[in-house]
Amino acid sequence: MRYTTIQGDTWDIIALKTTGSEMNMGRIIESNIRYADTVVFGAGVVLDIPETTAAVNELLPPWKRGAL
């Protein structure tokens, strides 16, 4: 998948928007290493977003894990 930045995007915001979790920020940075030094993006930068799998938190009760 690809994502085109808007003015003010940061890595964590991009991860949240595209994968649903800020925890995937590192994988997105690794896939776009040439922008690794960028803290705040301007508009129009096209980034590659790697496929992610949702991690299941085993500490959550079943109804919050989606496993009933």
**Residue of 23, 13, 9, 12 lying closest to 52 (CA atoms):** 23
Confidence bin at 10 (pLDDT 50/70/90): very high
In contact, 62 and 68? CB cutoff 8 Å: yes
Number of independent structural domains in the chain: 1
Element (H, E) at 53: none
Question: Is the per-residue pLDDT at 67 higher than 70?
Answer: no
In contact, 24 and 30? CB cutoff 8 Å: no
Q: What is the pTM of this model?
A: 0.77
Domain holding 29, by residue range, is: 2-65
Strand partners, 3: 47
Q: What digits encode the pLDDT tens for the residues 35-63?
A: 999 999 999 999 999 998 766 677 878 77
Q: What digits encode the pLDDT tens for the residues 19-42?
A: 988 999 999 999 999 999 999 999
